[in-house]
C-alpha cells in the first residue's frame, strides 16, 4: 500500500488554480495520480474533455510536467508515438532518464470516441498507463449520455420524462474489455479512498507494459449533487457494490476494497438528482432491475477473485 509520509515528500506536478468545478472529481484524480509518480519524469497526454479544457486555458497551464493535448479520439495513439520516440532516443543515448507516460481521458474519449486507438495501444504493448476518469457522460459538451452512462440516468440526450425514464441500456463494462486485451495490469478504483487509487497507479507505473485504470469520478454538475459530497458519493458506489474496487494482475483477480456492510443501490442513487425519477412508485421495477444487475455482477466478480486466490496459492 502507498505510504502517506513518503507521498508527502513527492513534488506537486499539478498546480492549484485550475478552472474545474468545485467538488469535481477529475481534479482529485489527476493530482493523486501525479503525486503517485513521485520524482519520475512523466509525459502526460490528455484527450479533449473537462479536465483538459479546465487545466490548459491559454496562456496558462496547471501542469508542471510535459503535457500533450490530443483530440477526443486519439490520445492513446498520440501517447504510443511519444513512447516509441522516447524508446528510440534512449536507445541512441540521447535520453538518459527513465520516463513514464500517462494518458487521461474521460468516458466519452475512452469508452466511445477513443476506444479504437486505446485498443490499438494496448494490443501493441506500449508502456503506457491509461487512466479513465469516468464521470459517466459527456459532461464537457452538455451532459449527453455515453456508453458509460448507467441505466436509468437522466441526461440531455436520454432524458427522463413521460415517454422514457432516462437511459434504457446498461453501461458498457470497459474494464473487462481491457482485461480481454491480456495486458499485465487492469484496475478499477473510486473516489474516497486515496490509498486504493494511488497504490494502483504506482503498481501500473512499475509494470513494463501497458496498463489501464478505470476510476469512477463523480461530477457534481452532471450527477447533480452538493459539491462537498464528492467523496461520500464515491464511497457509496463501492459500498453498494455498484462500482467494485478490484485489480487484475496477469489475469489474476483481486478485490481491493470490501464494504463493511453491502448497502442497497438506492443509497448511491438517492443523493443524485439524475436518478430522482427512479424513486417514483411507478418506477419501482426499474430500481429492482438495477439492484438485481448489481448483485449479479458482484457475485461474478467474487467468484473470479476466489479463483484468483486459488491460483496464488498454487
SS3 content of the chain, % helix, strand, coil (to 5): 45, 15, 40
At 309 the pLDDT is: 80
CB 217 within 8 A of CB 29: yes
Q: Which residues contact 267 (CB under 8 A, 6 or more apart)?
A: 236, 239, 240
- Cα–Cα distances in angstroms (integers) from residue 211 to residues 38, 62, 248, 272, in the given order: 18, 25, 10, 31
Q: Going residue by residue through the chain, which has 314 residues, state the pLDDT in tens, using 9 for 90 and above.
A: 788 888 988 988 999 888 999 999 999 999 999 999 999 999 999 999 999 999 999 899 999 999 999 999 999 999 999 999 999 999 999 999 999 999 999 999 999 999 999 999 999 999 999 999 999 999 999 999 999 999 999 999 999 999 999 999 999 999 999 999 999 999 999 999 999 999 999 999 999 999 999 999 999 999 999 999 999 999 999 999 999 999 999 999 999 999 999 999 999 999 999 999 999 999 999 999 999 999 999 999 999 999 988 766 65
Q: How many CA atoms lie within 13 A of 232 on its CB side?
A: 11
Name the β-bridge partners of 43.
Answer: 66, 101
Distance of CA 270 to the CA centre of its chain: 22
Whole-angstrom Cα distance, residue 215 to residue 220?
16
> Which residue ranges form the domains of the chain, and what is each CATH number?
4-313 (3.40.50.970)
Residue 7, SS3? helix
- Cα–Cα distances in angstroms (integers) from residue 119 to residues 80, 195, 314, in the given order: 11, 28, 32
At 241 the pLDDT is: 98
pTM: 0.96
At 44 the pLDDT is: 97
At 313 the pLDDT is: 62
Whole-angstrom Cα distance, residue 28 to residue 295?
29
What counts of helices (H) and strands (E) characterise the chain? 11, 8
At 170 the pLDDT is: 94
Whole-angstrom Cα distance, residue 122 to residue 128?
8
In which residue are the cell numbers 501542469 written? 63
CB 277 within 8 A of CB 283: yes
Q: What is the dihedral sign for C-alpha 154, 158, 161, 166?
A: negative
Q: Which residues contact 135 (CB under 8 A, 6 or more apart)?
A: 25, 26, 50, 106, 107, 217, 218, 219, 222, 223
Hey, what's the torsion of the CAs at 218, 222, 226, 230, to 10 degrees? 10
Closest Cα partner for 215 from 100, 74, 103, 107?
107
Amino acid at each position: 500500500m502507498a505510504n502517506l509520509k513518503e507521498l508527502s515528500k513527492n513534488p506537486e506536478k499539478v498546480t492549484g488554480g485550475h478552472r474545474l468545478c468545485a467538488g469535481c472529481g477529475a481534479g482529485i484524480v489527476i493530482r493523486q495520480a501525479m503525486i503517485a509518480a513521485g520524482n519520475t519524469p512523466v509525459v502526460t497526454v490528455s484527450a479533449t474533455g473537462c479536465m483538459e479544457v479546465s487545466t490548459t486555458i491559454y496562456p496558462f497551464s496547471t501542469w508542471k510536467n510535459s503535457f500533450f493535448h490530443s483530440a477526443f479520439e486519439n490520445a492513446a495513439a498520440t501517447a504510443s508515438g511519444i513512447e516509441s520516440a522516447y524508446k528510440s532516443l534512449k536507445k541512441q543515448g540521447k535520453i538518459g532518464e527513465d520516463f513514464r507516460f500517462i494518458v487521461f481521458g474521460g468516458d466519452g474519449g475512452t469508452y466511445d470516441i477513443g476506444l479504437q486507438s486505446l485498443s490499438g495501444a494496448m494490443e501493441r504493448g506500449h508502456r503506457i498507463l491509461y487512466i479513465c476518469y469516468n464521470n459517466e457522460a459527456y459532461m464537457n459538451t452538455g451532459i449527453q449520455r455515453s456508453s458509460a452512462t448507467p441505466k436509468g440516468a437522466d441526461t440531455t440526450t436520454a432524458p427522463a420524462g413521460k415517454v422514457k425514464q432516462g437511459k434504457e441500456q446498461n453501461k458498457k463494462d470497459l474494464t473487462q474489455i481491457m482485461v480481454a486485451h491480456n495486458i499485465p495490469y487492469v484496475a478499477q478504483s473510486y473516489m474516497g479512498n486515496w490509498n486504493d487509487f494511488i497504490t494502483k497507479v504506482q503498481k501500473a507505473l512499475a509494470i513494463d507494459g501497458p496498463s489501464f485504470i478505470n476510476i469512477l469520478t463523480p461530477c457534481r454538475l452532471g450527477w447533480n449533487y452538493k459539491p462537498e459530497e464528492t467523496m461520500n458519493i464515491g464511497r457509496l458506489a463501492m459500498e453498494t457494490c455498484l462500482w467494485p474496487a478490484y485489480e487484475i494482475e496477469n489475469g489474476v483477480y483481486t478485490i481491493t476494497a470490501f464494504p463493511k456492510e453491502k448497502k442497497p443501490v438506492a443509497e448511491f442513487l438517492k443523493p443524485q438528482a439524475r436518478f430522482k425519477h427512479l424513486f417514483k412508485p411507478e418506477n419501482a421495477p426499474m430500481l429492482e432491475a438495477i439492484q438485481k444487475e448489481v448483485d449479479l455482477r458482484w457475485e461474478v466478480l467474487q467468484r473470479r477473485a476466489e479463483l484468483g486466490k486459488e491460483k496464488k496459492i498454487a
